[in-house]
Amino acid sequence: MRVSLFIPCFVDQLTPRVGMASAQVLKRLGHEVEFRDAQTCCGQPSFNSGHWDVARAAALRALDVFKGAEVVVGPSASCVAMMKKFYPEILAGHPRLQEAQDLAARTFEFGEFLVRKLGITDVGATFAGKATYHDGCHGLRELGLKEEPRQLLRAVKGLTLLESEEAETCCGFGGMFSVKFPMISTAMAQVKCDALVRSGADIIVSSDPSCLLQIGGYLTREGKAIRTLHLSEVLANGS
């Protein structure tokens, strides 16, 4: 399959390793991977802030960028949810709505693509450690992904998967929410991170780099030595 990567803007700038790891896993599974460098941001910050005109322009650009792509795969449940669920909503009544719906049907979150589209749960990865999976809200509730990432992690050799309390509780990132209501966002991070620490895991894995920005950022500030990794980084390891 020819996979077109959809790399979130902040992954592009701050955690490029997540994008590289996703590409590596897909290539190893025998797929052709491309990156169309006209892509920038999906427009979610503006969408969430109520500026739907800005988000709509971003959506229309994305339709151009990913025109003709066989499948679009992104290592971020949040940005994928923007494309899959909210592009059709903000383009309701727009002449290009059908195009947006077609793109939505061809777009997958990284783990979703492996398990649901390809039917693969074991990518042959090895990773030594105890991991706990954080359900990002967009992955869990907008895309309905709960078992898929866990199936992938359970198949990783050497990795023990622990469940944490508050696994389904929001980490408090929420995009602009994290800086517009920092006291609430930080309180949520504290509840989340306390539970993650209690789980006994030494690695926190998620399908959402934005959640990891929040969780990792809070844990580092609090001096807690737990690594945060994107699902693709774990799956890219070994073999």
Partner 1 sequence: MSTPRSQFLSDAQVATDDVAQRGFLRQALGGYYVSRDVQKARYRDWEQARDAAAMAKWNAVNRLDRTLTTFATNFERNGGKIHWARDSAEAREIISKICRDAGAKAIIKSKCMTTEEIHLNDALEAEGYGVVESDLGEFIQQLRKEPPFHFVFPCMHLKREAISELFTKHLGTAATDSPEELTMIARRHLRQLYVDADVGISGANFLVAETGQISITENEGNARLTCALPRVHIALAGIEKVIERLDDLAVLLPMLATAGAGQPMTCYNTLYAGPRQPGEPDGPSEFHVVLLDNKRTALLADPEQRDALHCIRCGACLNVCPIFKNIGGFAYGTTYQGPIGSVLTPHLRGLQQWNHLSGASSLCGACTEACPVRIDLHHHLLHNRRNAVLAHVSLFDRLFHGAFGWVIGRPKLFAFGGKVFRATLPLLKKLPLPYLSTWLKSRELPEAPKKSFRDEWKGSQS
The token pair that represents 209 in the structure block: 């780099």
Nearer to partner 1, 144 or 200 (CB): 144
CA dist 19 → 34, 99, 164, 207, 230 (Å): 11, 26, 26, 12, 10
Instruction: Work out the burial of residue 13: count CB atoms within 10 Å of its CB; fewer than 13 is exposed, 13-18 middle, 19 or more buried.
Output: exposed
Rg (CA), the chain: 17
Under the binding rule (CB under 8 A), the answer on residue 137 touching partner 1 is yes
Map the footprint of partner 1 across residues 60-89, applying CB under 8 A: 61
The token pair that represents 120 in the structure block: 């693969």
Looking at 32, 157, 184, 239, which residue binds partner 1 (CB under 8 A)?
A: 184
Looking at 30, 50, 93, 95, which residue binds partner 1 (CB under 8 A)?
A: 50
Looking at 124, 129, 217, 238, which residue binds partner 1 (CB under 8 A)?
A: 217
Helix (H, G, I), strand (E, B) or coil at 27: helix
Paired with 83 in beta bridges are none
Under the binding rule (CB under 8 A), the answer on residue 197 touching partner 1 is no
Nearer to partner 1, 71 or 159 (CB): 71
DSSP class per residue in 115-171:
IIIS--S----EEEEEEEEE--HIIIIIS--SHHHHHHHHTSEEEEEE--TTTTS--
Looking at 29, 63, 169, 202, which residue binds partner 1 (CB under 8 A)?
A: 169
Map the footprint of partner 1 across residues 100-129, applying CB under 8 A: none
CA dist 52 → 16, 48, 82 (Å): 28, 8, 12
Looking at 1, 29, 31, 45, which residue binds partner 1 (CB under 8 A)?
A: 45
The token pair that represents 221 in the structure block: 């500030």
Looking at 182, 198, 200, 239, which residue binds partner 1 (CB under 8 A)?
A: 182
Looking at 6, 26, 47, 199, which residue binds partner 1 (CB under 8 A)?
A: 47
Under the binding rule (CB under 8 A), the answer on residue 7 touching partner 1 is yes
Site residues for partner 1 per CB under 8 A: 7, 9, 11-17, 19-20, 23, 35, 37-41, 43, 45-54, 57-58, 61, 137, 140-142, 168-170, 172-191, 213-214, 216-218, 220-221
